[in-house]
Structure 1
């Protein structure tokens, strides 16, 4: 080094071992710091500093509103996890209260009561919807606690939890209601068509996989301006939740999501009532 010669340092590590890779990175950082130190010493001999070699000083300034800064991680993870846990919470209960009752023979007993079939359909959807909402709410609370206690471990040192104000939580809850109602209505409908729980699982599983794919595909996406996308079920709820979390609430988008989801739920209730009015569902054997 004193003679101006270049030194080649070889760092051997095992890429399949996290500890080894982490150690190699630490050694590389230490050598980079030492190299900067030697460079500074050389420059001082000529009356220069490292800053003199960088004539352009770049500074990034965040122009986003203060209340929405630090919400990127929340907007990425919360909509995805809520969507997944809505379906995870509704699947077993929804199939048990429909195809499961068929297998146990309790469905015909329920349908012969002096209660309208539409009321029975709505009641089952509300029951499954309640379980799905509770599952999602507890997931949401657990996620916030995890970020609160271990933010740096998640790469969320500058996480802005203050953005979750009362108005934000109310907006998220309303969106959660419509999304869980849509999921519950669809699962109950498919479970009612199935002859048993196994067959019902086969009907619901593709929908669950599609929800996972949609959640992953939209994690890094920003909310689009195209209003037609807010008519697509599940996708519209994800984008609206992103708007709410990042404090970029747009009333038109929220209303489109709300109206379209309620319309889908109404359609599912209509077809579910038609299924309950069918004589085939009275037969627990499904024949």
Structure 2
């Protein structure tokens, strides 16, 4: 073990060397299929494709449900309401099946009948209105066809009831406003653009954090453990470039792919979310604009740079102790899960970007993206997020510089992980003795 603080082991930072090595790393990465797929293609294609498949399948199933015919048995049609039976007979989604005294709940459970309508005498209070009736629908909520039949039958009954009450009120000289009672009217003051920003703010930030982590994952492993496994690490270390320049170039390369992955994912989702949601929203009569606000763009780029900078530095620290690509994946995976898990719990609509959240790494950047997409820019939480993110990046870079001062870690001969390194080298604790059955 050697602690190397001077000479070629550390060397001064040369930005010309950094630029040359950085471009070389980028060109090499673009020839690696696994990096191109995970850092470029997946952010662009994966989640838009998943959303398209999910909503296309949902629309397909809804279409099948709409085309399905509900078999309804009716007991004792009310004689004074012939139009009601005619209304059911004309509905193409309902098939009236003969009712017999044996028809009951067993027929609904076995599927031979989807719903049973029984017309009963009205209650005491309802009997005051001439020709009034009481309808009871028997169905099984555990059977989808039966639930659909109940909804269709109830809609037809309510529709006929409204028409009949309107006619009866007109015969008695009563206006609709007199018998309808209180009317509730809903008015949404949010514009189409604000609604689009709200929905984007619920979906995109979570995917953004995941994609930045995915974009950094394979480049971080490939630039450290992958180089050692290919036996190109020693060649690079023996070049004229200082080790500080080499590590800086690799760090910038990993951070670049992470930031690009996050930005590509946001751009792809912003462009594809409207065509995906448009058919469903149009059918529901909802008009939403999914246009990304120009004011949000700088915050998205800043968030991508900050989150990628922190994740890249931390992942490279973990991967620095790996000697093979598989070891690198194993060492980074706990931190990777730690990065992608917190944003999963931030999809609560009422959760605000507050000062306490601004002090939590990863969560603060994710909430900043969410607020920006919703056209909300709280200055104090954003300022705290920027300061905290820069501080975390600086702390990771400082730890990386300490780790890489040790020759055995730099060349990959150190047999341990980050936890053991901190305990033995930085805290000067004695190494754990191996277990011996003879002791």
Q: Does 1:31 align with 2:159?
A: no
CA contact under 8 A between 1:67 and 1:247: conserved in structure 2?
A: no
Quote the Cα distance in structure 2 between the aligned partners of 1:135 and 1:50.
59
**Superposition map of 1:169-248 within 5 A:** 169-222=297-350, 224=352, 226-248=354-376
CA contact under 8 A between 2:220 and 2:316: conserved in structure 1?
A: yes
SS in 1 for 2:404: helix
> Which is strand-richer, 1 or 2?
2
Shift of 1:50: 7.6
Shift of 1:179: 0.9
Quote the Cα distance in structure 2 between the aligned partners of 1:154 and 1:128.
39
Quote the Cα distance in structure 2 between the aligned partners of 1:129 and 1:12.
56
Shift of 1:226: 4.0
SS in 2 for 1:195: coil
**Superposition map of 1:1-287 within 5 A:** 1-2=77-78, 5=120, 6-10=134-138, 21=144, 26-43=148-165, 44-47=167-170, 54-64=180-190, 67-152=193-278, 157-162=286-291, 164-222=292-350, 224=352, 226-287=354-415
The one-character-per-residue Cα deviations of 1:39-67 (angstroms, maximum 9, x if unpaired) are: 12442324468865653322333445775
Quote the Cα distance in structure 2 between the aligned partners of 1:83 and 1:49.
58
SS in 1 for 2:385: helix
Distance 1:222 1:180, change over 3 A: farther
Distance 1:54 1:181, change over 3 A: farther
Shift of 1:224: 3.6
The one-character-per-residue Cα deviations of 1:194-250 (angstroms, maximum 9, x if unpaired) are: 232222222221222223321210122545464232121110011111111111102
CA contact under 8 A between 2:137 and 2:150: conserved in structure 1?
A: no
Quote the Cα distance in structure 2 between the aligned partners of 1:211 and 1:54.
55
Distance 1:158 1:188, change over 3 A: farther
Distance 1:225 1:245, change over 3 A: closer
* Farther off after superposition, 126-135 or 147-156: 147-156
Distance 1:33 1:112, change over 3 A: same
CA contact under 8 A between 1:102 and 1:285: conserved in structure 2?
A: no
Shift of 1:68: 2.7
Greater relative contact order structure (CA < 8 Å, 6+ sep): 1
CA contact under 8 A between 1:94 and 1:187: conserved in structure 2?
A: yes
Structure whose CA Rg is larger: 2
**TM, length-normalised to structure 2:** 0.57
Count of residue correspondences: 280
Shift of 1:127: 0.4
Distance 1:130 1:154, change over 3 A: farther
Residue matched to 2:53: none
Distance 1:111 1:52, change over 3 A: farther
Quote the Cα distance in structure 2 between the aligned partners of 1:71 and 1:149.
16
Quote the Cα distance in structure 1 between the aligned partners of 2:335 and 2:318.
10
Residue matched to 1:18: none
Quote the Cα distance in structure 2 between the aligned partners of 1:89 and 1:72.
26
User: What stretches of structure 1 of length at least 5 have no aligned partner?
Assistant: 16-20
> Which is helix-richer, 1 or 2?
1
CA contact under 8 A between 1:231 and 1:260: conserved in structure 2?
A: yes
Pairwise CA RMSD of aligned residues? 2.8
Quote the Cα distance in structure 2 between the aligned partners of 1:185 and 1:39.
68
Shift of 1:81: 0.6
**TM, length-normalised to structure 1:** 0.84
Shift of 1:136: 2.3
Distance 1:58 1:122, change over 3 A: farther
CA contact under 8 A between 1:121 and 1:272: conserved in structure 2?
A: no
